Chain A
Amino acid sequence: MIELVDVRKAFNQGRPNEFWAIRGVSLTVDANRVTVLKGPSGSGKTTLLSMIGCLSRPTAGRILFETQLLSGLPERFLTAVRRGTFGFIFQQFNLIKGVTVLENVMLPAYPLGGPRRRLEARAHDLLAQFGLAAKAGYRVEWLSGGEAQRTAICRALVNDPRVLVADEPTANLDTQLSRDFMGIVGDLRAAGKTVLLSSHDPEVYDSPVVDRVVEMRDGRLAGG
């Protein structure tokens, strides 16, 4: 489904502090599977994830989503692809403070401009599905860690993306909540989503719902 061919990414290109975060990764991510990028911090997991998720562009190499070449697209079009195809769950949850749970969930759909009524109904459905129906009107700073993450999951799903990308999703959760999260990942897979995770938490990469673990080290695939 997603194919990476010799992808490289440099930061501060052409300056003395030039740094190659990714140094030639070729990888295929299959549809409807749970794939985990595993490795120590600084191994390039997050950078790779952000390129796959269209948050940034590779300096060299090609990224294909099905038949569409993503690597050459300007930001404007990457955003359009990202909006419809990828949902993100961040390590810090990254909810917007001072705004209600419901509105946080609806935010990714604003630039699409669909009818408000339908959008609200969809957000309420998602919140109900994740046990947050009662919290829709709460401000996000009043939520517990688990609730905040589930809100973030709802937000990632509001545009009905085919791929979910989660960066270190369990870093701020205790063991029980981490297991709950992996349970949700299993449900999403069952619902037909492709899930891509980065983690160095055994709760994640040893979880039974994971189909494939890709190890990274120093911007390359370990052993690859």
Chain B
Amino acid sequence: MPIWLQRQKYLIDFTLASLLRRRAKNLGLLLVYALIVFALASVMLYTHALRHEAAHVLAGAPEIVLQRMVAGRHDLIGEEHIARIGQVRGVQTKAGRLWGYFYDPAVKANYTLMVPPDREIAPGDAIIGAGIARTRGLSAGDYLTLRGSDGKAHTLRVAGLLDARSELVSSDLVLVAEPFFRAFFGIPAGQYTDVALRVRNAQEVRKVAEKLTLLLPDTRPILRDEVLRTYDAIFNWRQGVVAVLLLGAILAFVVFAWDKASGLSAEERREIGILKAIGWETSDVIRMKFWEGAIVSLTAFLLGYLAAYAHVFLADAALFEPVLKGWAVLYPRFALVPTVDGLQLATLFFFTVFPYTVATIVPIWRAAITDPDTVMR
């Protein structure tokens, strides 16, 4: 083994032993440190997973959705509009969509009613999201009665439940057949909520949207990438806000670390004095202290990160779900898909290990320059 490597090994061995000898003092530091990592990592893992989820959901969405606007408000779009889109180059398919919201006073929640474009549903049947099933206590075969726009009660037979995998958006969904939808909301035949367009080449999406606004001046195209971008911005922003809030905690932690590192006990001071007297050099002591910091940081980082991972992905982020998610009464109770990425880890590192190290540099140096002859006085 090369000499420098063996030297580091000796230093690490000795440092580990000293850390264990002063267990009580170091445990406090470790706990606070791990708590900081835990809080930050939880926020990051959670928002990252939500963003991932949203992106996953949108991946199957149409590239462009076209809405008709009347006096600045979203209105129904007719078949003649769809016909006028005609042969815009690059558009692969176009289809009118039917969907809308329904407020259910029974559970004080909004449902999303929708006619699925890709599956046949028998008239009178419905497929419902897990959130609705939970709050109304429904399972397949039960009946769900809703009051339509005509004031009459419409009854649906629950034919099945939606896959819970992307519950974030499907939680409040009710899938129904087209005739039912039109009757329930009173939408005449030939009218749609909006139009979904598929564009094969991603580079052409903007061009197609431009042509559409020229061709149909009373419509507004919504691009999938735009939605995704908005989601990203919102999630990033929320993450940023939480990080700013946690900045106070990080500063407190820095002060704490500084205090711990500079408040050496008489025993530790004596120890460093002895080491220097028997032949350790100032840089050896700095290196030893560096290893001490590295060991503490690594342990705290691992503990905090693993705890955060468990918190977010096993305990469904129980601690701050209401703050970061809650936008509906029907709480989606979905299992987030665990995602970890380098950017996140690096950011977390800079929010925790970096401030800790900055806080300890000067105290470490101060301890390391202890006069070697102190032990003789």
Q: Which A residues are CB-close (under 8 A) to B270?
A: 94
- On whether the beta carbons of A46 and B6 are closer than 8 Å, the reply is no
User: Given that A55-B373, A56-B373, A76-B282 are known contacts, is A88 also in contact with B277, CB under 8 Å in the complex?
Assistant: yes
- On whether the beta carbons of B4 and A46 are closer than 8 Å, the reply is no
- On whether the beta carbons of A75 and B282 are closer than 8 Å, the reply is yes
Once bound together, how far apart are the Cα atoms of A115 and B282, in whole Å? 22
**Using a CB-CB cutoff of 8 Å, which residues 1-59 of chain B contact chain A?**
1, 3-7, 9-11, 14, 17, 21
CB distance from B163 to the nearest CB of A (A): 59
- On whether the beta carbons of A112 and B7 are closer than 8 Å, the reply is yes
User: Given that A115-B1, A115-B6, A116-B6 are known contacts, is A155 also in contact with B373, CB under 8 Å in the complex?
Assistant: no
Q: Which A residues are CB-close (under 8 A) to B1?
A: 115
- On whether the beta carbons of B372 and A55 are closer than 8 Å, the reply is yes
B6 and chain A: residue at smallest CB distance: A113
**Using a CB-CB cutoff of 8 Å, which residues 360-377 of chain B contact chain A?**
371-373, 375-377
User: Given that A76-B281, A79-B280, A80-B281 are known contacts, is A111 also in contact with B267, CB under 8 Å in the complex?
Assistant: no
- On whether the beta carbons of A113 and B279 are closer than 8 Å, the reply is no
Q: Which A residues are CB-close (under 8 A) to B306?
A: none
* Residue A90 lies at the interface, judged by CB distance under 8 Å to chain B: yes
**Using a CB-CB cutoff of 8 Å, which residues 73-92 of chain A contact chain B?**
75-76, 79-80, 82-83, 88, 90-92
- On whether the beta carbons of A111 and B281 are closer than 8 Å, the reply is yes
- On whether the beta carbons of A113 and B274 are closer than 8 Å, the reply is no
A98 and chain B: residue at smallest CB distance: B21
- On whether the beta carbons of A83 and B271 are closer than 8 Å, the reply is no
Proximity bits, A91-102, B CB within 8 Å = 1, else 0: 110111111000
Q: Which B residues are CB-close (under 8 A) to A95?
A: 274
CB distance from B233 to the nearest CB of A (A): 53
Option from A46, A56, A88, A91 in Cβ contact (under 8 Å) with B278: A88
| Interface residue count on the B side (C-beta < 8 Å) | 32
* Residue among A98, A110, A159 with max Cβ neighbours from chain B (10 Å): A110
Q: Which A residues are CB-close (under 8 A) to B271?
A: 96
- On whether the beta carbons of B279 and A114 are closer than 8 Å, the reply is no
**Using a CB-CB cutoff of 8 Å, which residues 51-87 of chain A contact chain B?**
55-56, 75-76, 79-80, 82-83
Once bound together, how far apart are the Cα atoms of A56 and B377, in whole Å? 12
- On whether the beta carbons of B376 and A97 are closer than 8 Å, the reply is no
* Residue B284 lies at the interface, judged by CB distance under 8 Å to chain A: yes
Q: Which A residues are CB-close (under 8 A) to B373?
A: 50, 55-56
Q: Which B residues are CB-close (under 8 A) to A27?
A: none
- On whether the beta carbons of A159 and B279 are closer than 8 Å, the reply is yes
Option from B3, B7, B375 in Cβ contact (under 8 Å) with A94: B375
Residues of A within 8 A of B (CB): 46, 49-50, 55-56, 75-76, 79-80, 82-83, 88, 90-92, 94-99, 103, 107-108, 110-116, 155-156, 159, 167
6 closest A-B pairs by CB: A113-B7, A83-B279, A110-B10, A55-B373, A113-B3, A50-B373
